[in-house]
Amino acid sequence: QVQLVQSGAEVKKPGASVKVSCRASGYTFTDYDIIWVRQATGKGPEWMGWMNPNSGTTGYAQKFQGSVAFTRDTSISTAYMELSSLRSEDTAVYYCARGRAISIIRLQICLDVWGQGTTVTVSS
Amino acid sequence: DIQLTQSPPSLSASVGDRVTITCRAGRSISGYLNWYQQKPGKAPRLLIYAASSLESGVPSRFSGSGSGTDFTLTISSLQPEDFATYYCQQSYGTPLTFGGGTKVEIK
């Protein structure tokens, strides 16, 4: 079945970096954008940005410009999110999701398949 | 950024009740509004896309309506498995944004 499987929980110290993986199966990885969303405890989801797995083109929310990078390895249908210069405020569950188009305009999408989430804890 | 305001933030309801959740956008987003359900410790689940289209596999008691700035998610007869938090999300423009959520609790 169509699914996204993420890597396991991480505990990092302030100033460190974290890299989360998201492996796709059950569909053609390069046919859909991968969206990254994070959610702090008790808060709503927050969009971080997108990646086109076919071209590698990325787009980042302004808040994360310069601190996040999305990459992919198409040979293993896996997307990656790397967040650097971690602070305590980055403690959250990080999700990857598949973006399915609802119009011909880029990013007019719905998020129809989600990974299980990766908990990232930043603590000294 | 396009702000989405959900109301109410929480509600208590009984099994069998009709429940309505609203989402108001800070400016017109045409019909580019999606609804998700999230249970504790789980990822969000897509229920409704493009304001009123029911996602495959989602029970027909869920429905969505609206366009422009005002949108509604309706659960026609609340079931025990529907107690969860519901989020709206717009994809009219970037950054994609989510509402603050509506927690549906058991009365």
DSSP A57-122: -EEE-GGGTTTEEEEEEGGGTEEEEEE-S--GGG-EEEEEEEEEESSSSTT-EEEEEE---EEEEE
Please state, in angstroms and rounded to a whole number, the distance separating the CA atoms of residues A9 and A2. 22
**Percentage of chain A exceeding pLDDT 90:** 94
- The answer, for B101 touching chain A at a CB cutoff of 8 Å, is yes
Q: How many CB pairs under 8 A join A and B?
A: 57
Phi/psi of residue B88, nearest 5 degrees: -100, 160
Q: With beta carbons less than 8 A apart as the criterion, state whether A65 and A50 touch.
A: no
pLDDT along chain B (107 residues), means of 10: 97 97 97 97 98 98 98 97 97 95 94
Candidate from B87, B92, B98 with C-beta closest to A108: B92
Put simply, the answer to whether B46 touches A35 (Cβ < 8 Å) is no
Residue A106 has pLDDT above 80, yes or no: no
